[in-house]
Amino acid sequence: MKTAELFVRCLENEGVEYIFGLPGEENLDVMDALVDSDIQFITVRHEQGAAFMADVYGRLTGRAGVCLATLGPGATNLITGVADANMDHAPLVAIAGQASTNRLHKESHQVLDLQNLFRPVTKYSSRLLTPAITTEVVRKAFKLAQSEKTGACFIEFPENIAEMPIEDEPLTVRQPVAPEPPGDRVEAAAAAISAANNPIILAGNGVIRSGACEALAEFAEAMNIPVANTFMAKGAIPFKHPMALGSAGLQAKDYVSCGFDQADLVLCIGYDLVEYHPYLWNPTRSNRLVHIDNTPAEVDAFYSVDVGVVGDITHSLQRIAEAATPRAGQFARPLRRALIEDMNEHAEDSRFPVKPQKIIWDLRTAMQLDDIAICDVGAHKMWMARMFRAERPNTCLISNGFAAMGIALPGAVGARLARPGVNVVAVTGDAGFLMNAQELETAVRQGISMVVLVWNDAGYGLIEWKQLNAYGRTSAVDFNNPDLVTFAQSFGAHGYRIERTEDLLPTLREALADGGVSVIDCPVDYSENLKLTEKLGEMVCPL
């Protein structure tokens, strides 16, 4: 068989269902081998979209999403999505064709050193220089991509290697199991909790990746400790849970920040520093810290760990709870009440353009608890992180490690393929939407059912927010949009325009029931951004 055929058999052996990408001259043999495979190739309109689709697919399934490009510009177009997956710890394997090995030593058409180009944005970057290493390289890429901390891996596949003959078999698939936490570290963590007056939990995305959400909820309730989640850990504990404090990470004084100010012990569970930098919640470096995760803590001056419990998160929480003394009171209960009151304030707001709080209220009302919102990057991300109530893990996906604009629309395609039984909504600003709007065609062609909710303000709203806060004036943040309804319809999608606030909820419900691709153009009043900043800046903790 050809090496390309063995390569595809290795992908099948890893359980790959979809490959997102574009065909090219240098991956012709792989594309031909896929014709006889059960793996479905999803042809996209831009390689960045392919990487984002694989990124979100990997987040939702725990199995590496796979994206494929040709050499040169095809490969470089993957980099943003690959870097996003790696920094957000989503399992992904990227593959790129390459020129024949007899051209790699010299200046040659479209040739870049892809192995070294991808090395800084992946856990593992490799080049197939002989057919004999194919099975090892593929197995290692998937093993590392799917091992905690999960992330991205890259394989460069020269075209002359792809067509060479080889007789071999894929390697057996085995993934490492998280170790048991050391007993002395469990006892030390339990002692720290028992001695604390106001402990608080900071839950990160590692809780979701490790399948430890139920254990976290049980631990928080048994210990009577409030839980703040990072943006990327929304739903790690249900918002309805009495210990849930909502999202930390606004980089401003919020109810959750008040909780950290009063805490004398912070339990960081499945937390990655890229999610919410510790200098923002531990600025004086005075908090005692307990690190509970599958991997040791990152070194950071503001994250000096007093007790580190490394091992299976679920088992760690269960064993610590058995040894620790529960808290008698719950200091953060007034913070939770204040946050809920804030969320409820705009439920009946009918002013137009629509307030961000009202958009989120209606979106949450229209969606089922298991439905998935894929949030893009922009001002709307801050509102979604703060106000959207997630009751299940992985039902509100927010990129906040690399925080790449343009992820929502292609990410929604990946989400729908990963979770075909639930509704998916891409929540995006007009800027992020138009960065990868070409993937509307991909979604329509593939028969994907999804909704794209565009918060339209004809500008880079988050940057305007930052500029006004910093300088009191704006610079280069305004732009013009096409008619988004006509634009959507030109791709064969449904298009809706919100012209009254009262129309938003019924339109969302209609779009979710459409069974196809729907784009909702919703004008948003981002004057609320500055009002929120003022409110947070003047906030007195409600205790």
Q: Is residue 540 part of a domain?
A: no
Report residue 137's pLDDT band, with 50, 70 and 90 as the boundaries. very high
What is the average pLDDT value for the chain, to the nearest integer? 93
Task: Indicate the range of 5-9, 65-69, 265-269, 326-330 predicted with least confidence.
Answer: 326-330
Looking at the structure, do residues 278 and 367 belong to the same domain, yes or no? no
Tally DSSP H helices, then E strands, for the chain: 24, 18
Q: Is residue 169 part of a domain?
A: no
d(CA 184, CA 190): 10
Which residues lie closer than 8 Å to 228 by C-beta, 6 or more apart?
Answer: 200, 201, 202, 203, 245, 246, 247, 248, 256, 259, 260
Are 230 and 200 contacting, i.e. CB atoms less than 8 angstroms apart? no
> Of 331, 360, 382, which marks where a domain is finished?
331
| Percent of the chain residues past pLDDT 70, beyond the cut | 96
Are 427 and 363 contacting, i.e. CB atoms less than 8 angstroms apart? yes
Are 122 and 82 contacting, i.e. CB atoms less than 8 angstroms apart? yes
Q: What is the residue-wise DSSP string for 175-238?
A: -PPPPPPPHHHHHHHHHHHHH-SSEEEEE-HHHHHTT-HHHHHHHHHHHT--EEE-GGGTTSS-
- Please say if the pLDDT value at position 102 is more than 90: no
Mapped onto helix, strand or coil, the DSSP state of residue 451 is: strand
Collect contacts of 324-330 with beta carbons under 8 A, ≥24 apart: 324/189, 324/190, 324/191, 324/193, 324/194, 324/223, 325/193, 325/194, 326/222, 326/223, 326/224, 327/196, 327/199, 327/223, 327/224, 327/225, 328/224, 329/224, 330/224, 330/225, 330/226, 330/243
Looking at the structure, do residues 355 and 493 belong to the same domain, yes or no? yes
- Please say if the pLDDT value at position 251 is more than 80: no
Looking at the structure, do residues 10 and 149 belong to the same domain, yes or no? yes
Q: Is residue 357 part of a domain?
A: yes
Omega before 242 cis (within 30°)? no
d(CA 376, CA 59): 15
Residue 268 pairs in a beta bridge with 202, 291
Q: Is residue 366 part of a domain?
A: yes
Q: Is residue 148 part of a domain?
A: yes
Are 396 and 390 contacting, i.e. CB atoms less than 8 angstroms apart? yes
Query: pLDDT at position 519, please?
Result: 98
- Please say if the pLDDT value at position 502 is more than 70: yes
Enclosing domain of residue 221: 183-331
Looking at the structure, do residues 241 and 102 belong to the same domain, yes or no? no
d(CA 141, CA 64): 9
> Of 331, 362, 383, which marks where a domain is finished?
331
Entry pTM? 0.95
d(CA 149, CA 144): 9
- Please say if the pLDDT value at position 537 is more than 70: no
Digit-coded pLDDT (tens) for 422-461? 999 999 999 999 999 999 999 999 999 999 999 999 999 8
Query: pLDDT at position 541, please?
Result: 56
> Of 287, 303, 331, which marks where a domain is finished?
331
Q: What is the CATH number of the domain that holds 64?
A: 3.40.50.970
Radius of gyration of the chain (CA): 24
d(CA 150, CA 530): 37
Residue 456: burial class (beta carbons within 10 Å; 0-12, 13-18, 19+): buried
What is the signed CA dihedral for 414, 249, 391, 186, rounded to 10 degrees? 100
Query: pLDDT at position 540, please?
Result: 46
Total domains in the fold of the chain: 3
Q: Is residue 338 part of a domain?
A: no
Query: pLDDT at position 327, please?
Result: 81
Pull the structure tokens for residue 24: 């090219």
